Chains A and B, each alone.
Chain A
Amino acid sequence: MIDTMTNKAVEAHDLVKRYVTKKRKGLFGGERIYIDALRGISFSFDRGSVFGLLGPNGAGKTTTVKILATVLTPDSGDAYINGYSVVKEPERVRENLGVVFSVDRGFYGRLTGFENLVYYGMLYGMSKSDASRRATELLELVDLSDSRHRLYEEYSLGMRARLAVAKALIHDPDVVILDEPTIGLDPVSSRKIRDVLLRLARSGRSIMITTHNMWEAEIMCDRVAIIYKGRIAVEGRPDDLKARLDGRRYIEVELLENPQGSLNGAEIIMSSGNTYIARIEAGVDIARSLEEILKQAKEKGLRVASIRVKEPSLEDVFVEVVGDSSKI
Chain B
Amino acid sequence: MVSILAVVGLTYLFIALIALAGLAIGRDPSGFRAITGYSDPLSYQSIGASIVVISMIIISSMGQYINSASISGRLESLLAAPVRISTVVIATSIPMIIFGLITFTLSSLPIVYKAISNYGLHVVLIATAILGLGMIPIFVLGLLISLAIAKIGSPIALNLAQAVIFTFSGSLYPVTILPEILGFFSKSLPIIYIADSLRSLLITGNPDLGGLPTLLLITIAYGSIGGFLYRRFSRTLRSGGVLA
Verify that A and B bind, or say they do not. yes
Residues of A within 8 A of B (CB): 17, 19-20, 66, 69-73, 91, 94-95, 97, 99, 101-102, 105-109, 120, 123-125, 167
| 19 pairs, A vs B, C-beta closer than 8 Å | A17-B240, A19-B240, A20-B240, A66-B76, A70-B79, A71-B80, A71-B243, A72-B239, A73-B239, A94-B81, A101-B76, A101-B77, A102-B76, A106-B73, A107-B73, A108-B72, A124-B81, A125-B82, A125-B83
B contact face: mostly helix, strand, loop, or mixed: helix
- How far in angstroms is the closest Cβ of chain A from B99? 15
Contacts of A107 in B (CB 8 A): 72-74
Across the interface, do A71 and B79 meet the contact criterion of CB distance under 8 Å?
yes
Across the interface, do B238 and A94 meet the contact criterion of CB distance under 8 Å?
no
Across the interface, do B240 and A124 meet the contact criterion of CB distance under 8 Å?
no
For residues 214 through 244 of chain B, which have their beta carbon under 8 Å from a beta carbon of chain A?
A: 238-240, 243
Residues of B within 8 A of A (CB): 72-74, 76-83, 88, 238-240, 243
Across the interface, do A73 and B74 meet the contact criterion of CB distance under 8 Å?
no
A106 to B77, CA, bound (A): 6
Contacts of B88 in A (CB 8 A): 123
Give the most central of B78, B79, B238, B240: most A CB within 10 Å.
Answer: B240
- Please tell me which one of the listed residues B76, B83, B240 contacts residue A106 in the complex, with CB atoms under 8 A apart: B76
A66 to B79, CA, bound (A): 10
Contacts of A17 in B (CB 8 A): 240
Give the most central of A72, A91, A99, A120: most B CB within 10 Å.
Answer: A72
In the complex, the chain B residue whose C-beta lies closest to that of A102 is: B73
Across the interface, do B72 and A105 meet the contact criterion of CB distance under 8 Å?
yes
Across the interface, do B80 and A97 meet the contact criterion of CB distance under 8 Å?
yes
Across the interface, do A71 and B76 meet the contact criterion of CB distance under 8 Å?
yes
Across the interface, do B82 and A108 meet the contact criterion of CB distance under 8 Å?
no
Across the interface, do A95 and B238 meet the contact criterion of CB distance under 8 Å?
no
Across the interface, do B80 and A69 meet the contact criterion of CB distance under 8 Å?
yes
Contacts of A109 in B (CB 8 A): 72
- How far in angstroms is the closest Cβ of chain A from B119? 41
A72 to B76, CA, bound (A): 10
Across the interface, do A72 and B240 meet the contact criterion of CB distance under 8 Å?
yes
A286 to B128, CA, bound (A): 87
Contacts of B82 in A (CB 8 A): 91, 94-95, 124-125
- How far in angstroms is the closest Cβ of chain A from B182? 28
- How far in angstroms is the closest Cβ of chain A from B60? 17
> Assuming A99-B80, A123-B78, what are 9 further A-B pairs, CB within 8 angstroms?
A73-B238, A99-B77, A101-B73, A101-B80, A106-B73, A107-B72, A108-B72, A120-B81, A124-B83
- How far in angstroms is the closest Cβ of chain B from A98? 9
- How far in angstroms is the closest Cβ of chain B from A136? 21
A170 to B76, CA, bound (A): 16
Answer whether A71 and B238 are a contact pair too, CB < 8 Å, given A123-B81, A123-B88, A124-B82.
Answer: yes
A17 to B238, CA, bound (A): 12
In the complex, the chain B residue whose C-beta lies closest to that of A91 is: B82
